[in-house]
Amino acid sequence: MITISPCFSEALSSYVAAKKDGKKGLEGHQELSRFIAWCGRERKVSELSPSEVADYAQHVGMSGADPAVRLTPVKEFLSFLKDEGWTQTGLSSHLRVPRTRKVAGKKALAVAAAETTYLSQEGYESLTSQLESLKVDRVNVVEDIKRAMADKDFRENAPLDAAKERQGIIEARIRELEAALASAQIMGDEPAEPRQRVKVGTTVRLKDIESGRLINYTLVDAREANVAAGKISTVSPVGQALLEKSVGEEVTINVPRGTLRYQIQQIHR
């Protein structure tokens, strides 16, 4: 159960105090300051989403510094937020260190923009809401930059660096969402196929062959994925394995923790 959510600046103060009370040194304070400024100091902790955490990790991965070193204090801070009951899920698990630091070229971005985005009505409205919120953030981050620039010592101005980083991510995210919404196709009720196959928008009931446990997943676009709600991306290992399969088929999926074996029990929209 989530308790009353503080803003990020308040949460950081509580985290620092907890570290001192526990007689543990607070390392990576500059990295935490960058992360807090990136999130928005006055923003509620409960508003932080897994996708934003993953975006931050990807952004850090494209920097020149060792991403593992930079992300370690942030991961500890996110774990603290979960322990305090300020976030419902463990966001630290989404702060994965990127394996490579690749920057998409103009051609790759153009191809991605041209692809059709299949969304539910709920997903479309969610992305629209995110876009509107980001446009508000765009204005706020400009103000953060102005305030940070009031400090004439630019050499050690972590808030300024973090605000500029956040500005870049916000602009990139806005472009991504605008492209996705422009190419979006809302999934409606479609007549069932004679032998229905798993596609974007279908809900699948799976039986774990090892344990017999039944699991329901709905396959959605990556932008709409929410594992906690049973919505998995079509580009995830499980989603990729299920696509175009039909009732009765078995799938074997290799994941980091081992091998999963499922039998498809039902498919419906």
Smallest CA-to-CA distance from 200 within 263, 132, 115 is with: 115
- What is the tens place of the pLDDT at every residue in 106-119? 444 434 444 677 78
Altogether, the residues listed in the chain come to a count of 269
pTM to 2 decimal places = 0.55
Backbone CA torsion sign across 177, 179, 180, 183: positive
Residue 192 lies in a domain: no
- For the ranges 30-39, 66-75, 97-106, 154-163, the maximum mean pLDDT occurs at 66-75
The secondary element (H helix, E strand) that includes residue 254 is strand 250-255
Residue 224: count of CB within 10 angstroms of its CB: 25
Angle at 140 between CA 142 and CA 62, to 5 degrees: 65
Is residue 96 domain-shared with residue 146, that is, in the same domain?
Answer: no
Task: Note down the domain range covering 156.
Answer: 104-186
Q: For residues 223 and 178, what is the distance between their CA atoms, to the nearest angstrom? A: 12
Residue 195 lies in a domain: no
Boundary residue ending a domain (53, 69, 102): 102
218 three-state secondary structure:
strand
The structure tokens listed for 11 are 């949460």
The structure tokens listed for 61 are 């991965």
Is residue 217 domain-shared with residue 126, that is, in the same domain?
Answer: no
Is residue 8 domain-shared with residue 92, that is, in the same domain?
Answer: yes
Boundary residue ending a domain (102, 127, 143): 102
171 three-state secondary structure:
helix
Type of residue at 204: V
Residue 262 lies in a domain: yes
Least confidently predicted of 63-67, 115-119, 249-253: 63-67
Indicate the number of domains in the chain. 3
CATH number of the domain to which 167 belongs: 1.10.287.180
CATH number of the domain to which 20 belongs: 1.10.150.130
Is residue 217 domain-shared with residue 259, that is, in the same domain?
Answer: yes
- What is the tens place of the pLDDT at every residue in 141-199? 888 888 878 766 655 667 777 788 788 888 888 888 888 888 888 876 555 454 588 88
Is residue 22 domain-shared with residue 78, that is, in the same domain?
Answer: yes
Is residue 18 domain-shared with residue 41, that is, in the same domain?
Answer: yes
Is residue 67 domain-shared with residue 33, that is, in the same domain?
Answer: yes
- pLDDT, mean of residues 208-230: 86
CATH number of the domain to which 264 belongs: 3.10.50.30
Residue 180 lies in a domain: yes
The structure tokens listed for 179 are 């492209």
